[in-house]
Amino acid sequence: MTLETQQSLSTELVSALQDLIQANIDSRDGYRQAAQGLEDLTLQSAFEQIAEDRDRQADDLARFVSWSGETPRRSGSVAAIVYRAWSSIRELLSTDDRYAMLCEAERGEDAIRNAYEDALNRSVGSAANEILVRHYAAVCNTHDRIRDLRDACQSCG
C-alpha cells in the first residue's frame, strides 16, 4: 500500500470524509437546537460546547476534502433536517424531559462514533488518519460525557 498525500486521498476515503463532514454538521445542528430549548444552563453550555467542537471537526475534514480537489459538503443531511423538525414539534407538545433528550443525544453519539470507525478503517496509511484518530478520541469522550449525564439524570428523576 502506498502512503497517500493530502492531494491524493482515495475516492473511497474522500467519500467517507464527506459523510463525516455531514455527520458532524448534523450533530452540531442537533446540539445547537437542543441547547436553545434548555433551561438547565449547565446542560445548555455542554451542548453548545459540543456543537462548537463538531463545527471545528467538520472544518478540519473539509480541508482534506478540498486538498483532494473535491468540494466539501457544507450542510447536513435531509434526513437530519426532517428529524430535527419532528423533534421540535415533539418538544412543543411535551414536557421538558432531560432524560429522553440525553438518550437521543447518546443515540446520535453512537451513530457518529460508528461513522468515524468506518472512516478509520478506510484511512490506514493515509494523510487523514491522524486527524481521524484525534476526532475519534474526542467523539468517544463526548459519548461518555453524554452517557454519564444521562445516567446522572436518570438517578435523580
> What's the confidence (pLDDT) of residue 117?
95
| Residue 104: predicted pLDDT | 84
Encode 47-59: b = buried (16+ Cβ within 10 Å), e = exposed.
bbebbebbbebbe
Give the whole-angstrom CA distance, residue 33 versus residue 20: 20
Tens-place pLDDT, residues 93-123: 455 678 888 888 888 899 999 999 999 998 9
12-49 pLDDT tens trace: 999 999 999 999 998 998 898 888 878 889 999 999 99
